[in-house]
A and B are shown apart, each in its own frame.
Chain A
Amino acid sequence: MNYPKPTKIIIAEKENADVKTFLFEYPQEIIPGQFFMIWIPGVDEIPMSVSYIKKRGVRGITFERVGDATKALFELKEGDKIGIRGPYGNGFKISGKRILFVGGGTGIAMIAPAVEEAINKKISATVILGVKSKKELFFENRLKKCGAEVHISTDDGSLGYKGLATELAKEIIAKEKFDLVLTCGPEMMMKKLYEICKNIPFQVSLERYMKCGIGICGQCCVDKGLRVCVEGPIFDGETLKSIEDFGVFKRDPSGKKVKF
């Protein structure tokens, strides 16, 4: 039932100054790319990608403190309760022999379990983690440890490639052949990457303001009534061709268009 189940945080871990991971027991099956609606009682309820899919029903979310909801969430400790419903959405379709993953900023959180699934399926995984600066990075060691080839890009050059993740992706794609590119990050980054990956199968995770999470309120619709919470959040390159909103506008909580 789509009701926020009060769930105890069993582990709370800081990934960097502003990013935290919470682990909890939530035994539903999860496909990488799916998300939960996370209720911070008395504050808000927000969509959040699943960042850990562990054994024995342990799942996790990883988030940056940016708005009121995530700031309040950041203050919670082990033993505190949050309401969880989901998982929602379709998830990535992970197949092929060689996949390039591009995670920008907190988009890295949902890319990580997808990389782990690819490795489990014996698919070779190359990962680009793009952040503004070294201090914003997280999950580098986790992804290296699982067997992925990890590249870092920083806008300020404080670590790895100096420049945008898309520029690094362009260089890597020019040298190597990939069956699939999966990405999650700022929409303009994903749009640029989509243009670079013209002939490579592509899957993108879109983010829109959400309310119900179960496909009835219409808040997160793109294009001709595609509900990001149901038909998304993952859309493939073919579908993106007709989504005029992609990289152009999103809607605020009132439904008004906001340009990227």
Chain B
Amino acid sequence: MDEDAGSMERIFNCGAGAVVTKSIGLKPKEGYSNPTVIELEHGILNAMGLPNPGIESFGEEILKIKKLNIPIIGSIFGSNSEEFAELAKKMQNYGADALELNMSCPHAKGYGLEIGADSKLVEKIASKVKESVSIPVFVKLSSNIPDLVDIAKSAEKGGADGIVAINTVKAMKIDLELKMPVLANKIGGYSGKAIKPIGVRCVYEISKNVDIPVIGVGGVTTGEDALEYIMAGASAVQVGSAIYYRGIDVFGKICDEMKIWMKNHGYKNISELVGVAHT
């Protein structure tokens, strides 16, 4: 979802606090051929290939959403700091409330993870974007790297206002009958409940080592999942695959479940729980 204003409006009305757009690049991109998404036993495997209509066309979608006063985080991807900066400026001009720099897509050549594995480049892009805009800038990182904490520190050094972790986990499915990978791109990213422990670990490690807020992502399906990320140090969480598992109104359900848990355990404000697992 979140490739057009209509679906973003629907997601917001289903209880999301803010909406992150599909990752947008400079030019229209069709993405990979199908199969791009399949369900596996314990999660969803996808290789979309960063499909997006390009920053020029995307303006009208954001303008529509801003008229409705829906908080919007513009996700962008580029192959170098200049591209990121150009996209960032346009997103800010359209009215995005914050930016998410996609440095973690695990299956796009020249983009995403290929950039987010290089700490110098991460710092350079973060600082270049920060110079170009005044809205908050988050950097979305992948778990598919050994030195995640160092990369997060580089983003912080570059001036990032927050870290988003994690993106999908690099994965593959081979069909036994047909003896070939099912995804057209062969390699994709795994999401859903199966990756939650990986995400929780990453958020825990990052939040311990940086002073900027962390947004947790990866398998958040219930209020309890969200609370686990928050205890690990997340100040907010993102939800994606759970739309499939629990329906599009999953956002409201998660919020309700969080409230019930907090009430039963005597908490009034979610901030009391951020990072409690660290003590």
A: residues with CB less than 8 A from B are 1-4, 6, 37, 39, 41-46, 81, 83, 85, 210-219, 221-227, 251-257
Q: A221-B1, A255-B4 are contacts. A3–B39 as well, Cβ < 8 Å? A: yes
The answer on a CB contact under 8 Å between A224 and B54 is: no
Q: A219-B3, A221-B4, A225-B10 are contacts. A254–B31 as well, Cβ < 8 Å? A: yes
Taking CB atoms and an 8 Å cut-off, the chain B residues in 24-75 that contact chain A are 28-31, 33-41, 44, 46, 48, 51-54, 57
Closest 3 CB pairs of A and B: A225-B10, A45-B34, A225-B7
Q: Is the interface of B mostly helix, strand, loop or mixed?
A: loop
Alpha-carbon distance between A61 and B36 when the two chains are bound, in angstroms: 22
Q: Cβ of A219: which chain B residues have Cβ within 8 Å of it? A: 3, 51
Q: Cβ of B31: which chain A residues have Cβ within 8 Å of it? A: 211, 253-254
The answer on a CB contact under 8 Å between A215 and B244 is: yes
> In the complex, how many residues of chain B place their beta carbon closer than 8 angstroms to a beta carbon of chain A?
43
Give the residue of B11, B34, B41 whose beta carbon is less than 8 angstroms from that of A211: B34
Counting chain B CB atoms within 10 Å of each CB, the highest count among A2, A37, A210, A256 belongs to A256
Q: Cβ of B37: which chain A residues have Cβ within 8 Å of it? A: 211-214, 216-217
Alpha-carbon distance between A257 and B3 when the two chains are bound, in angstroms: 11
The answer on a CB contact under 8 Å between A255 and B243 is: no
Return the chain A residue nearest B57 by Cβ: A256
Q: Cβ of B178: which chain A residues have Cβ within 8 Å of it? A: 6, 41, 81, 83
Q: Cβ of A256: which chain B residues have Cβ within 8 Å of it? A: 28, 53-54, 57
Q: A254-B28, A255-B52 are contacts. A2–B38 as well, Cβ < 8 Å? A: yes
Alpha-carbon distance between A136 and B54 when the two chains are bound, in angstroms: 38
26 residue pairs from A and B, CB less than 8 Å apart: A3-B38, A4-B175, A6-B178, A39-B182, A44-B33, A45-B33, A83-B178, A211-B48, A211-B51, A215-B243, A216-B243, A217-B1, A217-B36, A218-B4, A219-B3, A219-B51, A221-B3, A225-B6, A225-B10, A251-B4, A252-B30, A253-B30, A253-B31, A254-B29, A255-B3, A255-B22
Q: Cβ of B8: which chain A residues have Cβ within 8 Å of it? A: 225
Given contacts A2-B38, A256-B54, 8 further A-B contacts (CB under 8 A): A1-B40, A4-B38, A6-B177, A210-B34, A212-B46, A217-B37, A254-B29, A255-B51
A-B contact count (CB 8 A): 132
Q: Cβ of B248: which chain A residues have Cβ within 8 Å of it? A: 215, 225
Alpha-carbon distance between A252 and B10 when the two chains are bound, in angstroms: 21
CB distance from B149 to the nearest CB of A (A): 30
> Within 8 Å of chain A (Cβ to Cβ): is B9?
yes
Q: Cβ of B237: which chain A residues have Cβ within 8 Å of it? A: none
The answer on a CB contact under 8 Å between B30 and A254 is: yes
Alpha-carbon distance between A174 and B10 when the two chains are bound, in angstroms: 40
Alpha-carbon distance between A3 and B43 when the two chains are bound, in angstroms: 11
Q: Cβ of A214: which chain B residues have Cβ within 8 Å of it? A: 37, 39, 244
The answer on a CB contact under 8 Å between B53 and A224 is: no
Q: Cβ of B34: which chain A residues have Cβ within 8 Å of it? A: 37, 39, 44-46, 210-211
Q: A44-B34, A225-B10 are contacts. A216–B41 as well, Cβ < 8 Å? A: no
> Within 8 Å of chain A (Cβ to Cβ): is B276?
no
The answer on a CB contact under 8 Å between A225 and B53 is: no
Taking CB atoms and an 8 Å cut-off, the chain B residues in 176-225 that contact chain A are 177-178, 180, 182, 184
The answer on a CB contact under 8 Å between A225 and B28 is: no
Return the chain A residue nearest B51 by Cβ: A254
Alpha-carbon distance between A11 and B36 when the two chains are bound, in angstroms: 28
CB distance from A204 to the nearest CB of B (A): 18
> Within 8 Å of chain A (Cβ to Cβ): is B238?
no
Return the chain B residue nearest A47 by Cβ: B34
Alpha-carbon distance between A132 and B243 when the two chains are bound, in angstroms: 42
The answer on a CB contact under 8 Å between A218 and B35 is: no
Alpha-carbon distance between A201 and B40 when the two chains are bound, in angstroms: 40
The answer on a CB contact under 8 Å between B180 and A41 is: yes
Q: Cβ of A227: which chain B residues have Cβ within 8 Å of it? A: 7
